[in-house]
Amino acid sequence: MVSLKAVQASNASLRAFPNITALFVGGTSGIGQSTLRHLARYADSPTAYIVGRSQERASPFLAELRSLSPKGRFHFIEADVSLVRNVDLACRQIVDQESHLNFLFMTPGGISLGGRNETPEGIDYLFSLRYYARMRFVQNLLPLMTTAASSSPSRVVSVYGGGFEFPINTDDLDLKHTFSLLNAYKHSITMTTESMEYLAQQYPSVSFVHAYPGLVGTNIYNNSFPSPIASFYNVAMWPFHSVSLQESGERHLFHLTSARYPAKQQPAGAGEVATGTTGEPGSGVYLLNWKGEVRSSPKLLTQYREQGIPELVWKHTEQLLEEAVRR
């Protein structure tokens, strides 16, 4: 376990990095909000873009961020990112304003007890939030992240289920024909890691983290269910929460910024680094638990790597995303 003291010391070192630019997708509540709040506290003059559903609901939090970091710049982008075309619009605003992007932090999602619920673009709603929309942000913004990597850290963090990879149906990756909530859960996790492995080879100056956050005291049930059901889950799950929301934010900022998880093409003289999914230190893709520890890489990933599944998954993802915006 990475101690909280070590986490805080690493986060405090952010003051030494000028011109940090970050994007938080799902940054107005829960883990994303807590992580962004800590970025505002630790960094000297960050620039942060926050993508969320409601400008009005986000306004008090934006005021808090500006109070925490008077020299910081905080920009809200209102968007429903379950739609790929909305992701493109949000990214365009950032590309038009910035020359580099250091950090991309993604937490959008929710809980469903129903069946497949397609968006107008033909993608299951939660599958889009957990995987496809996130990958569209990555795809669109990697050029800015590569530019950032020439002089400062550059990292993608997707918070979901890193370390819980399962076999997937490579003949039905988007689950058009074999959808179930369990299959969607499995595919979202495994396809995230597979795509990260492929992209780390193509963009070796950018590092990728797929994190499992543990059970955190967030408002995910309130955002996913009607009030009576949400209240039941909040009470029932409270004893199982492994980490407070505040500590989770501290630790996820560490995941996002620490030199412990470098890109494959890491700078010379880097200190102690974590072991990546290939079993090699500093390989560029990391599966982390909430403590910052590397989760053991399943044998499945080795088998998939040998079979070329990372490339297969990414090529499918590119094709589906392009089809979505043409609908």
Q: What pLDDT digit, counting tens, does each position of 278-314 carry? A: 999 999 999 999 999 998 878 999 999 999 999 999 9
pLDDT for the residue 224: 37
CATH number, span 4-326: 3.40.50.720
| Per-domain boundaries in the chain | 4-326
Q: What's the mean pLDDT in 93-120? A: 92
pLDDT for the residue 283: 93
pLDDT for the residue 110: 75
pLDDT at 240 over 60: no
Q: What pLDDT digit, counting tens, does each position of 50-89 carry? A: 999 999 999 999 999 999 999 999 999 999 999 999 999 9
pLDDT at 175 over 50: yes
Calculate the CA 31 to chain-centre distance: 11
Nearest to 207 by CA among 90, 137, 287: 287
- Euclidean distance between CA atoms 190 and 188, whole angstroms: 6
Nearest to 193 by CA among 153, 135, 246: 135
- Euclidean distance between CA atoms 45 and 32, whole angstroms: 19
pLDDT at 232 over 50: no
pLDDT for the residue 316: 98
Q: For 66-203, list the strands marked E by DSSP.
A: 73-78, 103-106, 155-159
Distances (CA, A) of 76 to 23, 48, 131: 10, 9, 22
Q: What is the pTM of this model?
A: 0.91
Residue 109's pLDDT band (boundaries 50, 70, 90)?
confident
Q: What is the mean pLDDT of the chain?
A: 90
Residue 6's pLDDT band (boundaries 50, 70, 90)?
very high
pLDDT at 247 over 70: yes
- Euclidean distance between CA atoms 324 and 327, whole angstroms: 6
pLDDT for the residue 282: 93
pLDDT for the residue 217: 63
Q: Tokens in use for 307?
A: 């079979």
